[in-house]
Chain A
Amino acid sequence: MKKYTNTGNKDTRSGFGAGMDELGKTNENVVALCADLTGSLKLGDFQKNHPERFFQIGIAEANMIGIAAGMTIGGKIPFTGTFANFSTGRVYDQIRQSVAYSDKNVKICASHAGLTLGEDGATHQILEDIGLMKMLPGMTVINTCDYNQTKAATLAVAEYKGPVYLRFGRPKVANFTPEDQKFEIGKAVLLNEGNDVTIIATGHLVWEALQAAEELEEKGISAEVINIHTIKPLDEEAILKSIKKTGCVVTAEEHNYLGGLGESVARTLTQNHPAPQEFVATKDTFGESGVPELLMEKYELNAAAIVRASEKVIKRK
């Protein structure tokens, strides 16, 4: 089992903030828009260092999406920042018409996704956003796993022309991917090679998948671990290559099992290489208030849940 070291817990949103500040220095076309959550989105440095390119929109997310779409006309690259819930469900029609259908180069950047938002509860814990966004034609959907990867993704999406949904979160989590990584949109990252089961994880569940693989190794089970940071376009080649070897798969995500990464993997398998699959995801439910770790345990979104799902899916081979 390949060893990964946590260089210290950090929040993914701070990776976004650091990436934005760097983009502010390196790309004069990058502009940031925020709907009254500058601190939460870690956009303070961008605002301070590039005030002429920072747009405080107020609590008006629909207007923010429209302004971002308009700012692309004339060559700017707008990054919008608010919570995942207000970045997607609240403004779905604005994104659909003014961004996706109009093919505007807008980067919709969403923090506080999923249960790990914690105590604020289900009104803010969106678990449907990946599904909403991946259904939009032309939309790229990215869910990063740690600080370093979120910073790298932020830099990468500025270079890519087209609408992007970039999803990250609130809590401080393990930071274990390389600081100098090259982020390739649509390219899966093989974290560990194994033969008995493929674990495909995205976002905060990637670190949990690595912990699960270690536990499985102790039980004599060899798990292959793939980090899918880009849910759309999905790296089907990497997924099929792995599952053809292992014969079964566990998908893991902080999202509803309807519409998430797991369903995209299931479709890929159904069309190409049917194989048993278990879903580590929320099961068509809303979240609730609580400490993030306890919520992840209650809703079975952690390493222990991935171990259980792996043992179950192997038996179904």
Chain B
Amino acid sequence: MPNKQQLEDFATQVRRDIVRQVHKVNSGHPGGSLGCTEFFTVLYQEIMDRKEGFDMDGKDEDLFFLSNGHISPVFYSVLARSGYFPVEELSTFRLIDSRLQGHPTTHEGLPGIRIASGSLGQGMSVAIGAANTKKLNGDNHLVYTLHGDGELQEGQNWEAIMYAAANKVDNLISTVDLNHQQIDGCTDDVLPMGSLKAKFEAFGWDVLEVKKGNNISAVIDGLNEAKSRTGKGKPVCVLLYTEMGHGVDYMMGSHAWHGVAPNDEQLEKALAQNPETLGDY
């Protein structure tokens, strides 16, 4: 297990990877990626029970599904730095003939990806299916998901949320990236969703809140607590309060950097705020 400083260093390097990926191709989604850096770091480096290498079936290991596929830069960086594919491949992000498509896909055979995502609202259903199969196979490992908060405006999520509770899919931990932002602005301005905690609880989920979603220790504690609540007849929801653009001062807390890449000058500023730790690709 890495210590806290190692996790901090890992996250800092991931932030560099995120802004460098999107800067190079002048496209991609840095805001949500930066906001979820601690989550991905902790999930892959600390929480999930993962096998060496990658196979699609993922038997006898924990699985993760990214539903809001547009935050691919953070996913790719963490997968590469967790050993799924060469870190150098991050330099091909969004370029022609790359396995690192704009949104994650199995189509190009990138290790670590088990479903395509990008068209929103589909990931929880897929995760429920994988969780069902784990139960049929007598596999006690867990299935994790991540969703954007704005993404919950897609109706399919609520079909899945209803199903998971009714069918006691209690080997599932779904995390909502609660940054209160979406492309057009604040979620409360675009389409207010009210209390997500109350909604998930009304549907029959066990809900826990992690108020400091950009604090490594808080995320570790929150996800460990979530793990401890599995296997008790309810799916588990983690409401992860994050800040869009966290770690790059001029991007923080604004929807403006949802899908906008930094220019050369802005890149330098972002990199200066996140010094190299594990080595750039």
Contacts and interface: CB of A to CB of B under 8 A. Distances in A.
Interface of A: 31, 52-53, 55, 57-58, 60, 62-76, 78, 93-94, 96-98, 101-104
A108 to B, nearest CB: 14
A278 B136 CA distance: 50
A97 B117 contact: yes
A121 to B, nearest CB: 25
A65 B58 CA distance: 20
Nearest to B136: A76
Contact of B106 (A58, A68, A78, A102): A102
The 8 A-B pairs with the shortest beta carbon distances in the complex, nearest first, are: A70-B129, A66-B125, A74-B133, A63-B159, A60-B159, A70-B126, A67-B129, A71-B129
A58 B128 contact: no
B156 A94 contact: yes
B133 A73 contact: yes
A81 to B, nearest CB: 15
A94 B117 CA distance: 10
A242 B189 CA distance: 63
B238 interface: no
A1 B263 CA distance: 75
Interface residues of B, number: 39
A66 B116 CA distance: 11
A96 B107 CA distance: 12
Contact of A55 (B132, B134, B160): B132
23 contacts: A31-B136, A62-B155, A63-B156, A63-B159, A66-B122, A66-B124, A66-B129, A67-B163, A68-B129, A69-B115, A69-B125, A70-B129, A70-B130, A70-B131, A71-B132, A73-B63, A73-B126, A74-B58, A74-B137, A75-B133, A94-B125, A97-B118, A103-B107
B105 interface: yes
A98 B117 CA distance: 7
Contacts of A78: 129
A102 B117 CA distance: 9
A97 B119 contact: yes
B201 interface: no
Interface of B: 56-59, 63, 65, 105-107, 114-119, 121-134, 136-137, 139, 155-156, 159-160, 162-163, 166
A96 to B, nearest CB: 8
A75 B57 contact: yes
A69 to B, nearest CB: 5
Contact of B134 (A57, A66, A74): A74
B57 A73 contact: yes
Given A65-B125, A78-B129, A70 B162 contact: no
Contacts of B63: 73
Contacts of B58: 73-74
A63 B133 CA distance: 15
Nearest to B134: A74
Nearest to B67: A66
Contacts of B156: 62-63, 66, 94
A106 B151 CA distance: 25
Given A58-B163, A67-B132, 4 more contacts: A66-B124, A71-B133, A98-B116, A104-B115
A64 B137 CA distance: 20
A70 B107 contact: no
Nearest to A93: B119
Contacts of B105: 101-102
Contacts of A97: 116-119, 122
Nearest to B128: A67
Given A97-B118, A102-B105, A70 B159 contact: no
Contacts of B133: 70-76
Nearest to B114: A73
A67 B133 CA distance: 10
A70 B125 contact: yes
B159 A62 contact: yes
